[in-house]
Structure 1
Amino acid sequence: MIDPREPIVTPVPVEELRPTQITVGMREVALKRQMIREQDAKKKTGAFLGKHVVPVVLGPKNRNYVTDHHHLARALLEEGVKDVLVTVISDLSALDKDTFLFVLDNRGWMHPFDESGRRRDYSAIPKTIGELIDDPYRSIAGELRRMGGFAKDTTPFSEFIWADFLRRRIDRNAVAKNFDKAMKQAFSLAKGKDADYLPGWCGPTLD
């Protein structure tokens, strides 16, 4: 087991990273790509990457399974950045594949849900970062947090939990037709009592 007090940071090819989820919000990826381009223009890409280390779990065949920052990894891939720094939070490389995936799931290091919010078999998780598919509600959730709709929270995959809440209340066609209008609806929903069970909820209180 890796000692979390002594992180070891290692460069790994982005294209070799393994996802632990099925989707990303492509609008979120676009924002990360813009950040990378701005840093590159200032010749500070190295400093940028040094501040954005990707946590991974070592799995069978010593493959690096990403547990966070999927959007950054996808953005780096699309921007042609070859390597990214990773830190191993747990070494489970001795496990067989089925046991490994089961442990990932039960430790909250996996989110096997598709763009419709349906739980899928482990086999549905892409083998590469480039195969992650778009969930527009994940983009809404990310933008909503930046707007102050809810607070950043340590709950695993908290923004996916918000995405699923919004998916059930905002029509997908409405999101595609007018993202800004959908965001206004999302913000209103986020401040309502129906959302008070969600991680990071910061709606109005009587205190």
Structure 2
Amino acid sequence: MPSAHPQLVSVKLEKLHPTQITVGKEEVALKRREWEKLSKKARTTALSQHWFPAISGPGGLHYIVDHHHFGLALIEEEVKLVSLLVLKDLSFIEPAHFWTVMDHHQWVHPYDANGLRCNFDAIPRRLEQLQDDPYRSLAGELRRAGGYAKDVTPFSEFLWADFFRSRITREMLEQHFTKAMAKAMKLAGSQDARYLPGWTGVIAS
């Protein structure tokens, strides 16, 4: 019988499967810079204390449901082994139903770099194949700058990325990032953003 309790396992990082299509490559670069500042001992400690939340899927494959940016950064830093916290064992489910169950639990985000929902088969099989979504990088930078609060809502940063996608041009984002950040900060406190997780604006009376 599948275990009902989370389990810790050690796996090869290159064997992990993503549950989303995109990442913010600037976010990945930031995590690489943070990693490079750590001593060898500090890196060992960081890895021993970090668990990638994952689901066991058909064929014994492991699908991580968070920390894709850190995982990709570690791959680029040539880290080989990581620890997984297996949240649920779905290895017994028929492959044809696996992604439907994942979607029901909000463990998958099948949206591309344009914010459009795709078929589940568009999800890459390797972390290295994740697409770049610069709006996801903007959302991450804005959160660190205090534009909104960290929230436990699944894929909350992607909701913010989609909010900015229709309000900030890609040209501004890629060529005038400081201006894009200033505009994003203003938008983040607006009433239009009040439905988003972590919103810290003021409700209009």
* Alpha carbons 2:65, 2:107 under 8 Å: kept: yes
Output the amino acid matched with 2:64. V
Alignment partners' CA distance in 2, 1:204 and 1:27: 30
Q: CA deviation at 1:58?
A: 0.2
* Alpha carbons 1:2, 1:88 under 8 Å: kept: no
Alignment partners' CA distance in 2, 1:102 and 1:8: 23
State the partner residue of 2:172: 174
| Secondary structure of the structure 2 residue equivalent to 1:104 | helix
State the partner residue of 1:135: 133
Output the amino acid matched with 1:72. F
| Secondary structure of the structure 1 residue equivalent to 2:163 | helix
Identity %: 49
Q: What is the RMSD computed on CA atoms of the aligned residues?
A: 1.4
Alignment partners' CA distance in 1, 2:60 and 2:95: 11
State the partner residue of 1:34: 33
Alignment partners' CA distance in 2, 1:179 and 1:42: 34
State the partner residue of 1:103: 101
Alignment partners' CA distance in 2, 1:145 and 1:183: 11
| Secondary structure of the structure 1 residue equivalent to 2:41 | coil
- After the TM superposition, list the runs of 4 or more consecutive aligned residues in structure 1 that deviate by more than 3 angstroms: 1-4
Gaps (5+ residues) in structure 1?
none
Output the amino acid matched with 1:121. N
Alignment partners' CA distance in 1, 2:155 and 2:105: 12
Alignment of 1:29-68 (within 5 A): 29-39=28-38, 41-68=39-66
Output the amino acid matched with 1:9. L
Q: CA deviation at 1:144?
A: 0.8
Alpha-carbon displacement from aligned partner over 1:138-174 (angstroms, at most 9, x marks no partner): 0011111111111111111000000000101000011
The number of residue pairs the alignment matches comes to 204
**Cα distance, 1:2–1:184 mapped onto 2, change above 3 Å:** farther
Output the amino acid matched with 2:178. D
Alignment of 1:1-207 (within 5 A): 2-4=3-5, 7-39=6-38, 41-205=39-203
Alignment partners' CA distance in 2, 1:122 and 1:8: 26
Output the amino acid matched with 2:21. I
Alignment partners' CA distance in 1, 2:4 and 2:48: 20
* Alpha carbons 1:115, 1:134 under 8 Å: kept: yes
Q: CA deviation at 1:45?
A: 0.9
Alignment partners' CA distance in 2, 1:111 and 1:50: 27
Output the amino acid matched with 1:116. N
| Secondary structure of the structure 2 residue equivalent to 1:148 | coil
* Alpha carbons 2:58, 2:91 under 8 Å: kept: yes
Alignment partners' CA distance in 2, 1:204 and 1:176: 30
Alignment partners' CA distance in 1, 2:56 and 2:131: 23
